[in-house]
Amino acid sequence: MKAKSRAKIVIWARRLTQAACLILFFGLFWAAGAREGEPARILRLFFDINPLLVLITWFSSRSLPTLLTLLSLLTLASALLLGRIFCGWICPLGTIHHVASVIRKRKRHTDTSRDNWSVWQRSKYYMLAVLLVMALLGAQWVGVFDPISLLYRVSATTLYPGAQYAVEDAATALYQGNPGLGPLKATAVSEPAYRFMRNHVFIRNRQAFLGATLIAALFVAIVLLNLYRPRFWCRYVCPFGALLGLCAKRPVLQLAHTGECTHCGRCAVRCPAAASPDVPHHWRSTECFGCWNCVAACNHGAIDFRVQSPLRAPSEARLDLSKRALLASGAGGLCGVILFRLDPQTQQRIYNPDLIRPPGARPERDFLKRCLKCGVCMKACPTNAIQPTLFEGGLEGVWSPRLVMRLGYCDYNCNLCGKVCPTEALQPLLLEEKKKVKIGLASFDITRCLPYAYNRECMVCEEHCPIPQKAIYFLLEEVTLRDGGKRVVKRPRVDPELCTGCGICENVCVFKDRAAIRVTSANETRHAGNRPILAGFSSPETSAPAPSQEADPYGGIKN
Amino acid sequence: MRDGHTRREFLKRTAAAGGAMALAPLGAFAAEGAASAPAEMAIARWKAAAVTSPEEIKAMAIKLTEQAISAIGGMGRFVKKGNVVWVKPNMAWNNGPEFAANTNPDVVATLIRLCFDAGAKQVKVGDKTVHEAQKSYPASGIEAAAKAAGAEVVYLDDNRVKEVELKGKRLDKWAVFPEIIESDLVINVPIVKHHSLSKVTLCMKNYMGVVGGDRGQWHQDITTCLCDITAFMKPRLCVLDAIRILTAHGPTGGSLDDVKRMDTLAAGTNIVALEAFGAELMGHKPDDIPLIAAAAAAGLGTADYRTIPLRELEVT
């Protein structure tokens, strides 16, 4: 078979693989937290096979979360043998960039100026160097740039909520307007579709994320960069691509000029990677995605992929990373870490009351060494409480998870976030362990709380408190009213021994702007320095020597 | 609502029915059994040996439900052929059935089956939950049981509520879930629980699960608000699950120490009578519960449940 026709078959195989991997990525994404039950490790497949994340997390935290991450060696092996086929065939973000590049008007002429190799393609290797140095010094920032973390974060905070919003609001608008021609109503179609989506696809009430517009805008920007250069991100920025490129210096599958080249440049125009397929003996294996477009583009059968001995260098072209630039990258990484650590919060000299990490979060420094900012916990959180930070955790912790109790709360009977975290930045806890973890402490704002500020009845916080003995209880207090009369009012209090800071009280408080009971990070289990409440002795709020059923300030009926 | 009846008409009808009941000879129904006009309320108590295993409790729940419904005239009295029925349990809490925070799943499943047997076209089950529905539906055991019984388990969409005129004393307008109120029949199936404000949470409070918006405000005047929503809902059939009851730290629960087995179930058409019975189960005098007095005064039913046609069943 001629090289060109064979290449066309390979290209279709690639397209199918790309589509399958994209579907798999979003399928696993959808499954995270969609249904009850133990989340399977396979939900994190794309993280486990990602050698960049595994390497950096290993460097920064000096540990591997699970042996399954050894799967990432397969990805490295694929690069050693076949080049950056992960980029060309598997990477879901690569596929999105690929499609966006194709949308760019295809050039008919052979102007290769935008597709020639550029020295700027080395920048991704310098990026990788910066991230590696930072990781060795104990700071993890790879998740900001890693394509899997990035796409997951974008999907969790914008694509998925956006899709749900569009489907549900469109269906609801049809439902409320009920347009149609005579007896033919639009709702006859839209309602069953809506019900199917609601009961089987989205299931949960829609999520919304603070700062999602910034995450979305950055995503749109990197997709639009494909108009400037095809697969701009993959060519110039992606540190994962850089790592694979370093492994692909001498692959077994190499592009070779096998026939008479007319120097028409068609192969170079079709090459999304600017890997110089058109220059004999200068094909750049470190850049090539193995997409086979070049072979299919050649009308003369002049180029083809061949199995070659890796001992033989594929090309005279060298990566030629500048030692100065590498040194500068290392220095940059060092400076980055120092800057991160200058933050008083990172030094744990102060504690941000609004930085309430999910249960199972390691102490802040240790947490940041592992957190990929990928948003799996945000996707999985059933109450939408887990939100991306902006600067609440410092620049180092940008887009890392925190709980915002106005939007959700930590479900007492849920420990999902720790179970889906790919790097155990949130440790997987048994439910009974998780119930004992304090993530914060609730306190009343008595200038707003209805029984305090207005002598009104209200007990919504107490009603919702999930602690079996109730961490919120009432004291009966006699108050003097405006007209001088007296009344007894039930006023709620928090028992700091029992309160875990789950935040459902803040979530359900009748004040919707700023709740009259609010949770701060005080008393969080993970930081001894942030615990004002001396633990382990019976609450001074009860007169009995030890807490007991009888001491319960309002007990109801006993068995 | 679909049939277009106003609350005023409803109240007139209720008053008329109440009057007719008052004239009926007391105790006659209990004596004559099922042969005569059906009772307006039935209390089914388990009188066989105490059961412990989950299978036995399930079988008991099924029997109690079937016999209580049968004693008030069977499901055919409420469900017409082709009806769409909404079964409204309490399934609002992410807790298992043993914690008595949610309605017994087998009671719900049995009601669904009885609805289908009576010719219902579709039975839907759903609740505006407190915890996330995605958590509490499965945890309650009701999702699986209802699906197995052939019902559609509906995850209500917070963004799809409709403001309706309640024209109540406290609530003029409120957002409700249209899918629920557009059903031909809503069966109210709460569980008996402790509540720190209203002392007990029973049938009337279960209606908080058909409304959207910020329900929290209602607690500032819970009595009037619940009377308003009950009047709007025009209850036709309520089933009070007291197989397990939550005696303290409600309505969330979470400790088995607070759960008590009563092995009892009541069904009826008179919501206030059921409230009074439920309050007694919790060890209160109905008169001590402000909600019950207020609901009776508002014409929503009869607080003294012994004065209405009542059947008390001993189920074995």
pLDDT in tens, chain B (316 residues): 344 444 445 444 544 444 444 444 444 444 444 446 789 999 999 998 888 899 999 999 999 999 999 999 999 999 999 999 999 999 999 999 999 999 999 999 999 999 999 999 999 999 999 998 888 999 999 999 999 999 999 999 888 888 899 899 999 999 999 999 999 999 999 999 998 887 889 999 999 999 988 888 898 899 999 999 999 999 999 999 999 999 988 898 888 999 999 999 999 999 999 999 999 999 889 888 999 999 999 999 999 999 999 898 888 8
For the beta carbon of residue A112, count every other beta carbon within 10 angstroms.
18
Can you give the residue ranges of every domain in chain A?
3-143+231-307, 153-216, 364-549
Q: Residue A449: its pLDDT value, please?
A: 96
Q: Which residue has the higher pLDDT, A541 or A41?
A: A41
**Alpha carbons A83 and A61: distance in angstroms, whole number:** 29
pLDDT per residue as tens digits for the range A177-214: 888 888 888 888 898 999 888 888 888 888 999 999 99
Spatial contact of B243 and B61, defined as CB atoms under 8 Å apart? yes
Chain A residues closer than 8 Å to B133 by CB = 204-205
CA distance B308 to chain A (A): 28
pLDDT (mean) for A522-538: 85
Task: Confirm if A503 and A514 have CB atoms less than 8 A apart.
Answer: no
Mean pLDDT along residues A335-341: 92
Q: Give B159's contacts in chain A (Cβ within 8 Å).
A: 168-169, 172, 205-206
From B196, B247, B255, residue closest to A468, measured CB to CB: B255
Instruction: Give the list of residues 6+ apart from residue B222 with CB closer than 8 angstroms, or none.
Output: A457, B197, B198, B205, B291
How big is chain A, counted in residues? Answer: 559
Instruction: With CB atoms and an 8 Å threshold, state whether A468 touches B248.
Output: no
Interface test with A, best of B136, B192, B197, B215 (most A CBs within 10 A): B197
Q: What phi-psi label fits residue B150: left (phi over 0), alpha (psi between -120 and 50 degrees) or beta? A: left
Q: How far apart are the first and last CA of chain A?
A: 84
**Are A411 and B135 an interchain contact pair (Cβ–Cβ within 8 Å)?**
yes
**Closest residue in B to A197 (Cα–Cα):** B155
CA distance A462 to chain B (A): 8
- Number of A/B CB contacts below 8 angstroms equals 118
| % of chain A beyond a pLDDT of 90 | 69
Tokens describing residue B306:
């012994």
Q: Do A469 and B214 touch (CB under 8 A)?
A: no
Q: What is the mean pLDDT of chain A?
A: 89
Please list every residue in chain A whose beta carbon sits closer than 8 Å to the beta carbon of residue B94: 411-414
Does the CB of B130 have a partner CB in chain A at under 8 Å? yes
Q: pLDDT band for position A279 (50/70/90)?
A: confident
Note the ipTM here.
Answer: 0.81
**Using only C-alpha atoms, what is the Rg of chain B?**
18
Task: Tell me the chain A residues in contact with residue B154 when contact means C-beta distances shorter than 8 Å.
Answer: 199
Is B293 within 8 Å of B276 (Cβ atoms)? no
d(CA B32, CA B41): 15
Using the beta-carbon criterion (under 8 Å), do B158 and A510 form an inter-chain contact? Answer: no
| Separation between Cα atoms, residue A194 and residue B84, nearest integer Å | 19
B194 Cα to chain A: minimum distance (Å): 7
Whether B261 contacts chain A with CB within 8 A: no
Say how many C-beta atoms besides its own lie within 10 A of residue A24's C-beta: 15
Task: Report the residue from A203, A456, A459 with minimal CB separation from B134.
Answer: A203
Residue with tokens 């072209």: A317
Q: In this complex, do B216 and A556 lie within 8 Å of one another by their Cβ atoms?
A: no
B95, B134, B194 ranked by CB distance to A382: nearest? B134
Phi, psi of A212 (to 5 degrees): -65, -30
Say yes or no for a CB contact (<8 Å) between B157 and A198.
yes
User: Is B255 near chain A, with CB under 8 Å?
Assistant: yes
Q: Kind and range of the H or E element at B59?
A: helix B54-71
Please enumerate, as own/partner, the contacts of B143-147 that have beta carbons within 8 Å and a separation of 24 or more.
Answer: B143/B91, B144/B105, B145/B105, B145/B106, B145/B108, B145/B109, B146/B87, B146/B105, B146/B108, B146/B109, B146/B112
Task: Read off the pLDDT of each residue in A486-503 and give the average, rounded to a whole number.
Answer: 94
CB contact under 8 A, A382 and B132: yes
Confidence of residue A40 (pLDDT cuts 50, 70, 90): confident
Q: Does B304 touch chain A (CB under 8 A)?
A: no
Please report the pLDDT score of residue B26 as a whole number.
43
pTM above the 0.80 mark? Answer: yes
- CB-CB under 8 Å, A458 with B157: no
Give me the pLDDT at residue B25, please.
Answer: 43
Which band of pLDDT confidence, cut at 50, 70 and 90, is reported for residue A1? Answer: low
Of B139, B195, B248, the CB nearest to A555: B248
Alpha carbon distance A227, A294 (integer Å)? 20
Cβ pair A281, A312 in contact under 8 A: no
Please tell me the predicted confidence (pLDDT) of residue B134: 87
Searching chain A, which residue's CA lies closest to the CA of residue B213? A510
Confidence of residue A34 (pLDDT cuts 50, 70, 90): confident
pLDDT at A111: 64
- What pLDDT does B23 receive? 43
Query: Which residues of chain A make contact with B247, given a CB cutoff of 8 A?
Result: 556-559
Which distant-in-sequence residues (6+ apart) come within 8 Å of A54 by Cβ? A48, A64, A69, A72
Q: Are B282 and B258 in contact (CB under 8 A)?
A: no
B152, B153, B249 ranked by CB distance to A556: nearest: B249
Q: What average pLDDT score do residues A515-524 get? A: 96
Gap from A384 CA to chain B (nearest CA, Å): 10
Are A248 and A80 a contacting pair, CB within 8 Å? Answer: yes
Looking at the complex, does the CB of residue B196 fall below 8 Å from at least one CB of chain A?
yes
Task: Answer yes or no: is pLDDT of A386 > 50.
Answer: yes
**Burial of residue B164, with CB atoms counted within 10 A of its CB: 0-12 exposed, 13-18 middle, 19 or more buried:** middle
> In this predicted structure, which of A264-273, A378-387, A414-423, A489-498 has the lowest mean pLDDT?
A264-273
On whether any CB of chain A is under 8 Å from the CB of B173, the answer is no
The confidence score (pLDDT) of residue A540 equals 55
Smallest CA–CA distance, residue A520 to chain B, in Å, is 21
Res A542: pLDDT: 61
Cβ <8 Å between A463 and B251:
yes
What average pLDDT does this structure show over A287-305? 92
Residue B23 carries which side chain, given as an amino acid letter? L
Chain A residues within 8 A of B132 when measuring between CB atoms: 204-205, 382-383, 411
Specify the pLDDT at position B20: 45
Minimal-distance CA residue of chain B relative to A413: B94
pLDDT tens, position by position, B189-232 = 999 999 888 788 999 999 999 998 888 889 889 999 999 999 99
The domains located in chain B, with CATH, are: 42-315 (3.40.50.11440)
Residue A374 confidence (pLDDT) above 60: yes
Contacting residues of B for A197, CB less than 8 Å apart: none
Dist. CA A359–CA A345, nearest whole Å: 19
- Say which of B94, B138, B196 has its CB closest to residue A411: B94
Minimum-distance CB partner of B160 among A172, A460, A474:
A172
